Structure 1
Amino acid sequence: MLAERYDCILFDLDGVLYRGEEAAPAAPPTLAELRARSVRLVFLTNNSARTPEQVADKLRAMGIAADPNEVVTSALATAELLARRGGGRVFVIGEDGVREALAGAGLEILQGEPETADLVVVGFDGGATYAKLKTAGLLVQRGAKLVATNSDGSYPAADGLWPGAGALLSVITTTTGAEPEVIGKPFAPLFEAGLRRGGGGRPLVVGDRLETDIEGAARLGWDTMLVLTGVSGRADVEATGVRPTVIAEDVSALLEDP
């Protein structure tokens, strides 16, 4: 079985295990079988707005067994990284998923319009205002380090594309010229946080986007599986030159012999 060649399997979510509010047909039975065989599973998401508990709840509602401790969001990876560096006073553009992760890791969340900060952290924030963006830009100009949970410019909603964390981030970088540190995929910190959660040294990353899931993991020298239930297809592999270790119709290929 392909999955048994690895210490843990790191799954992207949307386009891999579900599409919108519906589970991918192969996902519930495949993950149930992987658990029965004691394969370690980790769920990775660039979504910074949701808490691990909310992500696990969504998976369980679709019939996919999941524990919050198996979920690593870009917000959680950001908080863990900043805490390891000593934490600090942080101004946040972001929703509960970001704020709870940072506070839980011991960082001091600044309120209002502070004059100074050690860090400005930007995630998705549906309530972002001009005043918040202005304050973030001024803090960066005064020396705060700019960190983004992820740089996704948009995300799909029922009525079209909505501005993502990257769109808010671009307001600050355009204003200040600052170069942000980005934690989420395709950058290494989120992948590395997932591996720490799963354990071992030989992971397999399963994703549906070549430019984030597959290319990001490949930069770390990790094996990858592109599933064709989401964004990228075989034609994209040829067009981009990004080569997954395995291309599969869906996640059930994890149960097959390599």
Structure 2
Amino acid sequence: MLDRFDVLLADLDGTLYRGPVVVPGAAEAVEAAGKRGVRTWYVTNNASRTPQDVAAHLVELGFPATAAEVVTSSQAAARLLAEQLPAGSTVLVVGTEALVGEVEAVGLATTREAEGAVAVVQGHSPDTGWRILAEATVALRAGAVWVACNLDPTLPTERGPLPGNGSMVSVLRIASGREPQVAGKPGPALLDVAARQAGASAPLMIGDRLDTDIEGGRAAGMATLLVLTGVSDAVEVLSAPPERRPDYIGADMNALDADPDDLAPGARAGWEVTVADRGELRLSGSGDALDALRALCGAHWAAGGGPARVTSGGGDADRAIRDLGLGGGEIGSATVGAAPRPSGADR
């Protein structure tokens, strides 16, 4: 993989770490890539922290990171605004002081009131309340440009998923009757900014979520690697629509040591997938469970994709289906795509 790509664009939570805990092997994989001349840039939908704060957290966890290598959705949002507004224009900020700083850094003025605001930028803040949402509603109804840092409906906490920026965006959608431009994943703006800043000619987007990381990478025209260390699992991958299908599937960041062809969905030695009917798959053979998933995806996607039912031909197929979490009420079978989708997260 490191021979094929010159810059890694890595998601954070779920890909490199889980809250305060590093994903095993992730820091070592990033460091090894750097020694091979393949730099890592860190991309996050979280607009509540500065690049300096994000870099400090990464360094604390053992990653070789600088603030210059961190690109947040607040930076992408500020750039989107700067491309559309004259210098010095006033932007109403719904979000933290970190977002205020990014907007002012591109030559725009900021406010917390509707009067005089020609644009609204919205990012996550735990202190967002009715008054600032009311001011934003007034500005939007008056025709202000609206940029949302991301649409993630929830963010992970020690108490479970709680409202994220997308939930607050929904409030303004209803109140204003408007739709925002989106700076973060799955929109391409965040990844486009990161690739330009990194000077990448062949970037690889790496993430744990199909609906943000993989869809965002595909929207930006980049190759994508899904790692199964966070939100999206085998059930979701198999039933993914075309815009969310990864180019490569790996267990974790150690996949960077593998041959790209070995990670791509498609036929795999030792495994046979029979498509009995659309959505009806039968797995037989033996080998690595993740290779079984790649084989299932290749066959199912070629047949049209969508929800699938996987049955076992016995032997290692039973084990692979269990290991992948594709087993439902009966051992060796599952209705893939019918399971509840995982909660979203600000990333």
TM over 0.5: yes
Structure 1 residue 256 corresponds to structure 2 residue 255 = no
Q: Percent identity over the alignment?
A: 40
For 1:43-63, what per-residue CA distance to the aligned partner results, in whole angstroms no more than 9, with x for missing partners? 000000010001001111111
In the alignment, which residue of structure 1 is the partner of 2:51? 52
Gaps of 5+ in 2: 261-347
For 1:85-125, what per-residue CA distance to the aligned partner results, in whole angstroms no more than 9, with x for missing partners? 334210001012211111111110114x3423110111102
Structure 1 residue 10 corresponds to structure 2 residue 12 = no
Distance apart, 1:201 and its partner CA: 2.5
Distance apart, 1:140 and its partner CA: 0.7
Report the aligned-residue RMSD. Answer: 1.3
CA distance in 2 between partners of 1:115 and 1:61 (Å): 42
Residues 140 and 176 of structure 2 are in contact (CA less than 8 Å); yes or no, is this contact kept in structure 1?
yes
In the alignment, which residue of structure 2 is the partner of 1:169? 169
Distance apart, 1:203 and its partner CA: 1.0
Distance apart, 1:145 and its partner CA: 1.1
In the alignment, which residue of structure 1 is the partner of 2:274? none
Residues 42 and 197 of structure 1 are in contact (CA less than 8 Å); yes or no, is this contact kept in structure 2?
no
CA distance in 2 between partners of 1:192 and 1:141 (Å): 30
For 1:124-159, what per-residue CA distance to the aligned partner results, in whole angstroms no more than 9, with x for missing partners? 021112111111000111111111011111101001
Task: Give the partner amino acid of 1:97.
Answer: A
CA distance in 1 between partners of 2:236 and 2:66 (Å): 33
Distance apart, 1:9 and its partner CA: 0.8
Residues 7 and 199 of structure 1 are in contact (CA less than 8 Å); yes or no, is this contact kept in structure 2?
no
In the alignment, which residue of structure 1 is the partner of 2:94? 93
For 1:118-129, what aligned pairs fall within 5 Å after superposition? 118-129=118-129
Gaps of 5+ in 1: none
For 1:135-150, what aligned pairs fall within 5 Å after superposition? 135-150=135-150
In the alignment, which residue of structure 1 is the partner of 2:28? 29
For 1:49-90, what per-residue CA distance to the aligned partner results, in whole angstroms no more than 9, with x for missing partners? 010001001111111110100000000111122223334210
CA distance in 2 between partners of 1:239 and 1:84 (Å): 37
**Larger Rg over CA atoms:** 2
Task: Give the partner amino acid of 1:35.
Answer: G
Higher relative contact order (CA 8 A, sep 6+): 1
In the alignment, which residue of structure 2 is the partner of 1:107? 108
In the alignment, which residue of structure 1 is the partner of 2:246? 244
In the alignment, which residue of structure 1 is the partner of 2:216? 216
- Change over 3 Å in CA distance of 1:129–1:220 after alignment to 2: closer
Structure 1 residue 63 corresponds to structure 2 residue 59 = no
For 1:10-47, what per-residue CA distance to the aligned partner results, in whole angstroms no more than 9, with x for missing partners? 00001110011111111111111111112121100000
Distance apart, 1:220 and its partner CA: 3.0
- TM-score, reference length from structure 2: 0.71
